[in-house]
Amino acid sequence: MCMRVENHVVLDTAPSGRLVTITVDGQPVEAFEGEAILAALLAKGIIINRYTVKKQEPRGLFCGIGQCTDCAMIVDGKPNVRTCITPVRAGMVIETQNGLGKAGA
């Protein structure tokens, strides 16, 4: 069962209600502008955000408030973006991060 995070404990902004399209690993995904990227991904059933450096273990939602790095992904070419506290905006390109991301690979 997929659900959408509607009230975030850290983010002050609520989703605008405007539906926008982001690209996740090459696939279009509809999301609400202003909601956390991670909330949009969870609503679509996407639970893996990155793979660890040494053992290539999958990671996803853990703290949900930007303190850990388990939700880190590559956003618009920038690695290590904490998707739990980064708001969606139209046209974002998001990629599952492998290890340290492109900049640290």
Q: Which residue in 45, 71, 73, 43 sits closest to 59, CA to CA?
A: 71
The length of the chain is 105
At 5, the pLDDT band (50, 70, 90 cuts) reads low
What is d(CA 24, CA 75) in angstroms, rounded to the nearest whole number?
A: 9
Q: Which pLDDT score is estimated for 66?
A: 77
Tens of pLDDT, residues 44-91: 999 999 999 899 998 888 777 777 888 999 999 999 999 999 999 999
Cα angle 86-103-28, degrees, rounded to a multiple of 5: 50
